[in-house]
Amino acid sequence: MSTIVLNPLRIWSDVWQHRYLLGQLIKRDVLLRYRGAMFGVLWIFLSPLFMLIIFAFVFGQIFQARWPQQDSGLPFWLLLYSGLITFNIFAETVSRAPGAVRGYPSFVKKIIFPVHILPVVPLGAALVHGAFNFLILLVALAVMGKLHGRVLLFPLLLLPALLLGLGLSWFVAAWGVFIKDMTQIVPMFVQMLMFMSPVFYPVSAVPAALRPVYHYNPLSTVIEASRAAVTGQPIAWDAWSITLVLCLAGAMLGYAFFQHSREEFADAL
């Protein structure tokens, strides 16, 4: 049984065969978030656009901040925005995971319902928002005359972070059924992780004594690689590949833990 569960192809198949239901749940999740708002789903585009404008004004005009050892020609606020795209997809996925199963008690108690796709819904919604953030990034690069072909690698380079977020989502969603405090604990952990990841600064700016800590953080590798794609600099494919394998293993372990715990979900809810 464990051999089947820890097979990445089997895990992908288990999710893929319910792709229509998963798509409907993601669509419902995104639409419910903007229900009743004056501009509706248009906020998916407006929110990241306003955020980029604020970054450009605050960090470009007021603080006039510069990236440490900056040589890419891109302003600080755009480098910051590119890092936030990567981290925010991970953060939204994991932060909402504690309620992914607990929020659907009627689904959990149906024997035939594929409960394992519920923690995938936050990831799907995060990808929808991330796609619009990436579109705005492309427009900003084009306006500044810095758009180049390597930036198209950006979505591919996010794969380790997506796998890590999915694995943690399965793990946290299972714990969230039994421990309600997870809805408070996980967002604090994610916020702390944001400052421990090279979102606001490059790893090269970290004191040498602390850099090994950052090398153990998978998000550091992903953020640095995706930012390199934006700036047109060389991508550390070796480090990225190792991170991909480790995050894939994490996703499989998260899925195995979720499947092991799911039999007790109905009783807990």
What is the rounded CA–CA span in Å between residue 121 and residue 127? 10
What is the rounded CA–CA span in Å between residue 43 and residue 50? 10
What is the rounded CA–CA span in Å between residue 32 and residue 184? 22
For residue 94, what is the enclosing H or E element? helix 76-95
237-261 and 159-178 are packed helices; what angle lies between their axes, rounded to 10 degrees? 20
Q: Average pLDDT, stretch 108-125? A: 89
Q: Average pLDDT, stretch 20-49? A: 87
What is the pLDDT of the chain when averaged over all its residues? 89
What is the sign, positive or negative, of the torsion defined by CA atoms of 44, 50, 51, 53? positive
In the block, tokens 């108690």 appear at: 109
Q: Average pLDDT, stretch 64-83? A: 79
8 Å CB contact between 101 and 122: no
Lowest mean pLDDT among 79-93, 193-207, 217-231, 237-251: 193-207
pLDDT of amino acid 198:
92
Count of CB atoms within 10 A of residue 128's CB?
A: 17
The rounded percent of the chain whose pLDDT value lies above 90 is 59
- DSSP 8-state assignment for residue 180: T
What is the sign, positive or negative, of the torsion defined by CA atoms of 134, 121, 43, 94? negative
What is the rounded CA–CA span in Å between residue 77 and residue 141? 12
Confidence of residue 184 (pLDDT cuts 50, 70, 90): very high
CA-closest candidate to residue 167, choices 58, 243, 54:
243
Confidence of residue 70 (pLDDT cuts 50, 70, 90): low
Each residue of 239-268: pLDDT tens digit? 999 999 999 999 999 999 999 998 888 777
CA-closest candidate to residue 199, choices 84, 60, 53, 48:
84
- With 0-12 / 13-18 / 19 or more C-beta atoms within 10 angstroms meaning exposed / middle / buried, residue 1 is exposed
pTM to 2 decimals?
Answer: 0.91
CA-closest candidate to residue 198, choices 179, 175, 174, 226:
226
Q: Average pLDDT, stretch 81-92? A: 95
Give the CA count within 13 Å in the CB-facing half-sphere of 251. 25
231: tokens are: 């700036």
> CB under 8 Å to 7, separation ≥6 — which residues?
252
**Amino acid residing at 3:** T
Say if residue 65's pLDDT is above 80. no
Q: Average pLDDT, stretch 32-38? A: 80
